[in-house]
A and B are shown apart, each in its own frame.
Chain A
Amino acid sequence: MSDEVVIDLTRIEGEGRVYVLLNGDEVKVRFVGIDYRGIEKVMETQPPYRLPHIASRICGICFISHFVASLKALSNLLGTEVSELPTLELANSIQHLLDNLLHLMVMSSEDLIRLGADSDLVGKLSIKGMKVFTKLMSVIRKGFGDPVHPFIGWVTKLPKINDVLTTVGDDLREVIKLVNDLQDDLTRVVTKAITNSCRYPGRSDYKYLALSNNYLTTGVPKVFSGDSLSNVDVTELALSRESLSYSYILPPKYLGGVIRVGPLARGLINNYLSTRELQRNCWSPLLYHLARLREIHGLITKLSEPSVFEDVTNVPNSLPVEAPRGTLVHVYRVVNDSLRVRVLTPTAINSRAIESDVTKALVEGGYRDPKVIKEVTEVIVRSYNPCLSCATSSIRVVVNG
């Protein structure tokens, strides 16, 4: 006889649900995007100049990454170049900092407490996290326009990075100070949580995909597998999506294995995390939190020395960008005189890994209590910081059965 546990996810973006199907020793996990949005199809009806603005409406938190990915796809289609990459890199970096802080200090706070972190300290960090979030939103508004769907560029001239830094310099310095003041506490909380993460084991045989060259807006996409790095055609990955019968998420077909994207992949590919360091801990998806912590530190260092943003122009250009949750690509093509839009989102890429990790944790733990299954599932899924608003914006391919 089989049992089903249904977990409605909260503290994530968009509407997500996990179905755990238990049948004897067999555990089947389905990570489900339950609400279809179809924005790819909407974009195909629009004049080109509107595309970046429509794209930024895919996601209320990764709006800059979608905007930049759309600009790049459009420029690629029209045979032009995106100007002012340093400005876009700055904007994307600020968005990464905002998302990492919000996720680690606010959205994951309950999970960190479950993992043994000091609840008073987590509570204080949560309040501070909201303050930094508010401050960063005001930096985005001042520097780039609207706080949620900015209109930097495309039909107007992109601002020069120096002009943006002149406008937001004082606010950025304040953010850097605020984050520096809380980094020790944040490190303590995350380190404690990682120590206790063995309850949530994940598979260790994944491949990792991210842009190399240490920038978020451009770079060569690489796949890290064990100890080797190889190039990958992310456009092909975007065009090779498979449709699922149980979800509006469209994961890509994999290059010989399950792929993870996001902070962990960026850290491994850009060498601020090593396999050896990670293996000192339990091999758990909670290592994403460690990667986020490392990324926050790196972003603060980068924002403290804005001259590094200028160097982004020396990095090889490519279509994908790094969104906070991982590699994101918009692909625009003209087929039979019609625009065709494909958006491959980080959560779509991670969805298989999420299912595999939850399955492994539940099988190894032998859990049968629905409350425990719910807790284990939530902690693992949230460590990926999935975004269902993004992942369900794609066109669904018809599935029978």
Chain B
Amino acid sequence: MRGVCVSYSLIGVMLVAKVAFISLSSCNGCQVTFLNLIPWVREELGAEVIACPFISKKWSGDYVDLALIEGSVGNEEHLRLVRRVRDSAKYVVAVGTCACYGGIQGLGRVLNAREVSELVPKQVTNKPVIEVVEVDAAVPRCPVPEELLKEVIKYFIKPGNEGVPTRNHAFLTVCSQCSRVMKPMKELKLRLDYDPGSIDEGTCLLSQGVLCLGPITIGGCGARCTSRGIPCSGCAGPVLDLIIIRGERPIDRLSRVIATLSGKDFSTVRRYLENLIDPVLTHTFTASSVLMRSKPNSRLLNLLGGK
């Protein structure tokens, strides 16, 4: 467990920690979550927000105690910016799935990455922030939940806190927070589309034959989609042990769960899923993550044309 030592800037007679929010390629949704926290950051933590492009200025290179970065690295300017931030900030946190795994535009670039000819900065292969610089914490999910972001900011700004709070969720899946009950599947048949009126309120969506990525997706979101009858699309990125176990692929993990639910053997289920599910469906938010691409036999390699 690491200790925290924030160096404070002297403004008048008050010691004030400086926080900067930096935005790269994204929908700005995590910044909107941060906007909601600004009054709390100022009033409760007594910190100064020196940059937040949505409401004030962009970060200009000044020293900061805590840099929160949303979005993925999409062009050479982003690349230079992220490196400068790392050099200038005491702590750097990758906020949201784009910063951690490349996010949704990662897949967009993989599928359609051509250049316009003038005035725009040279585009680079979409990269998550965590693959470009070393970060002190990574908080995936799309967008980052307010409570998680709050805990992380507090941890780095308020000395004396212990343990990165999100670590508690890292090995938990969305299923662990879902109130739906898993039941045996009647047959090995998954639908990619379905009639919402036919969904049983209290039963697991996978058990009802609806493709749901809850078993392979990191928890901490409160399973708000699945609790409303909406299958998980994996926006938070993979659960941590799926990343750590190099040979394990999302489709393998999913196959194992479905094999248990359907009573079929693993290899039958995996073959069925590989025929049914395009890799873009399990990697919609993580297509540009090297963590997912570097797995042996990663299905993403097909998507990338064997690169």
Chain A residues within CB distance 8 Å of chain B: 8, 10-15, 17, 19, 30, 32-42, 45-50, 53-54, 57-61, 63, 102, 106-107, 130-131, 133-134, 137, 145-149, 151, 154-157, 243-248, 389, 393, 395-396, 398-401
User: Given the complex, which residues of A lie within 8 Å of B233, measured CB to CB?
Assistant: 50, 53-54
Complex CA distance for A398 and B230, rounded to whole angstroms: 36
User: Given the complex, which residues of A lie within 8 Å of B143, measured CB to CB?
Assistant: 60, 148-149
Interchain residue pairs A-B with the least CB separation, the first 6: A38-B108, A60-B29, A156-B229, A60-B28, A37-B105, A47-B192
Stretch from B52-60, B153-161, B266-274 forming part of the interface with A = B52-60
Chain B residues within CB distance 8 Å of chain A: 23-33, 35-36, 38-39, 53-58, 74-75, 77-78, 104-105, 107-109, 111-114, 116-121, 123, 142-143, 146, 192-194, 196, 199, 211, 224-225, 228-231, 233, 235, 278, 280-281, 284
Q: Which of B75, B119, B121 contacts A19, CB < 8 Å?
A: B119
User: Given the complex, which residues of A lie within 8 Å of B55, measured CB to CB?
Assistant: 11, 102, 106-107, 130
Complex CA distance for A395 and B229, rounded to whole angstroms: 31
If A11-B54, A38-B105 touch, whether A133 touches B35 (CB-CB below 8 Å) is: yes
* Interchain pairs with CB closer than 8 A, number: 190
Main secondary structure of the interface of B (DSSP, over half): loop
CB distance from A378 to the nearest CB of B (A): 12
CB distance from A314 to the nearest CB of B (A): 26
User: Given the complex, which residues of B lie within 8 Å of A38, measured CB to CB?
Assistant: 105, 107-109, 111-113
User: Given the complex, which residues of B lie within 8 Å of A102, measured CB to CB?
Assistant: 55
Determine if A34 and B75 form an interchain contact, defined as CB atoms under 8 angstroms apart: yes
Determine if A155 and B230 form an interchain contact, defined as CB atoms under 8 angstroms apart: yes
14 A-B pairs with CB atoms under 8 Å apart are A39-B108, A42-B280, A49-B231, A53-B225, A57-B104, A57-B235, A102-B55, A107-B54, A145-B224, A146-B224, A155-B231, A156-B199, A245-B118, A395-B112
CB distance from B127 to the nearest CB of A (A): 13
Known: A34-B119, A53-B225. 17 other contacts (CB 8 A): A11-B55, A12-B53, A13-B28, A15-B25, A19-B119, A35-B78, A47-B211, A60-B30, A137-B36, A148-B33, A156-B199, A156-B230, A244-B116, A245-B116, A245-B118, A396-B112, A399-B117
Complex CA distance for A151 and B224, rounded to whole angstroms: 9
Determine if B119 and A246 form an interchain contact, defined as CB atoms under 8 angstroms apart: yes
User: Given the complex, which residues of B lie within 8 Å of A42, measured CB to CB?
Assistant: 104-105, 107-108, 111, 280, 284
Determine if A149 and B142 form an interchain contact, defined as CB atoms under 8 angstroms apart: yes
If A42-B108, A58-B27, A61-B28 touch, whether A49 touches B120 (CB-CB below 8 Å) is: no
